[in-house]
Amino acid sequence: MNKKSFFRKSRTVFEHYKNTYRQEIQKSINFAGKDLDFYTEAKVSKLLSLTHQFLGSPNRLNILDVGCGIGITDFYLTSKYKKVYGIDLSRGAVKKAETLNPQAFYKSYTGKKLPYSKNSMDITFAICVMHHVVPDELNQFCKEMIRVTKKGGLVIIFEHNPFNPLTRHAVAHCKLDENAHLLSLKKVKDMLVASEGTIIDRRYILFTPFRGRLFSYLDTLLKEIPLGAQYLVVARK
C-alpha cells in the first residue's frame, strides 16, 4: 500500500479548520437558505432507513464513520446504534467529536489503512469524503471500507453530485473543498464493485431544501434523475 495518505490535503490542513468546520461549510451553503443540520439530518434519515431495510434494528449494529470530522453526523447516531465509531485525519477534530459524542469511539489516522480489523463493522460509511481522496488511491480507499465491514454488511457512500450546478457552486465556495475532485455516481458504483461489493441501492437525493413527507416522496420519485444535490451508493459485502 502506498505509504502516503490517500488524501490530497495533509493532516495539518484539516487540523487548521477544526475550530471553524461547521462555519466554513455553512458559509458555502447559505445561499440555499438552510443550515447544515438540515442536510445532516436528511442523510441520517437515509442511513437509518437503509439500516432497517437491509440489516434490521440498528441498536444491535456497529457503525463506522470514515472522515467523521467533528462528529456532527454521529451526534444523531449514538442513540440509535449499538456502537458508533469514527475516524478522521485531524486529531483536533477527533477531540471535538469526543466532546460532542462521549459515548462514541474515535481515532485519528494517517489516511492509509483503517485501524480496524477485518469484518469488524456492520456498516461503514463516508459522507462527502471521497472527493478529497487522491484519484489513484480511490480504489484502495473503497477496498479498505469493504475490508473492515462484515460479510453481509453495508458500505454506504454519500457524495456531492457533480451534475448539479448549485452543488458545484457550494463546493467552489467552501475552503474545506479546495482542490476537490467531484465524482459521478457511476464512478463510485464501479469502484465499489471492483472492491468486491454488490450494489444494492444507488440514488440521487436532496432535490429540494425542504423537510416533510411530501418532499421525501419527491426525492424517491426523482431518484434516477441526476439533478439531486447529492447521491448515495450502497454496497453489500
Give the pLDDT of residue 4: 60
Cell matching residue 177: 473543498
Provide mean pLDDT across the span 59-66: 98
The overall average pLDDT reported for the chain is 90
Least confident of 49-58, 66-75, 177-186: 177-186
Beta-carbon contacts of 147 under 8 Å, excluding residues fewer than 6 positions away, are 114, 118
Give the pLDDT of residue 9: 57
Alpha carbon dihedral 48, 97, 72, 14, in 10-degree steps, equals: -120
Residue burial 114-137, b: 16+ Cβ < 10 Å; e: rest: bebeeebbbbbbbbbbbbbbbeeb
pLDDT above 90 covers what percent of the chain?
72
- Asked if residue 59 has pLDDT above 50, the reply is yes
Which of 3.40.50.880, 3.40.50.261, 1.10.3720.10, 3.40.50.150 is the CATH number of 11-236? 3.40.50.150
pLDDT tens digit sequence for 79-118: 999 999 999 998 999 999 999 999 999 999 988 899 999 9
3-state SS class at 31:
helix
Q: How confident is the model at residue 214 (pLDDT cuts 50, 70, 90)?
A: confident
Whole-Å CA distances, 175 to 17, 31, 171:
9, 16, 8
Higher pLDDT, 97 or 220: 97
Distance of alpha carbon 6 from alpha carbon 132, whole angstroms: 8
10 Å CB burial of residue 108 (0-12, 13-18, 19+) is buried
**Domain segments of the chain: what residues?**
11-236
Distance of alpha carbon 74 from alpha carbon 43, whole angstroms: 11
Whole-Å CA distances, 81 to 1, 87, 96, 201:
32, 17, 20, 21
Higher pLDDT, 24 or 235: 235
Cell matching residue 65: 464513520
Say how many C-beta atoms besides its own lie within 10 A of residue 87's C-beta. Answer: 21
Least confident of 2-16, 52-66, 169-183: 2-16
- Asked if residue 38 has pLDDT above 70, the reply is yes
- The partner residues of 121 in beta bridges, in order of sequence, read 149
Among the listed residues 79, 77, 85, 76, the one whose alpha carbon sits nearest the alpha carbon of residue 104? 85
Provide mean pLDDT across the span 155-176: 93
- Asked if residue 36 has pLDDT above 80, the reply is yes
Say how many C-beta atoms besides its own lie within 10 A of residue 103's C-beta. Answer: 10
- Asked if residue 2 has pLDDT above 50, the reply is no
Give the pLDDT of residue 80: 98
Give the pLDDT of residue 29: 79
Cell matching residue 134: 487522491
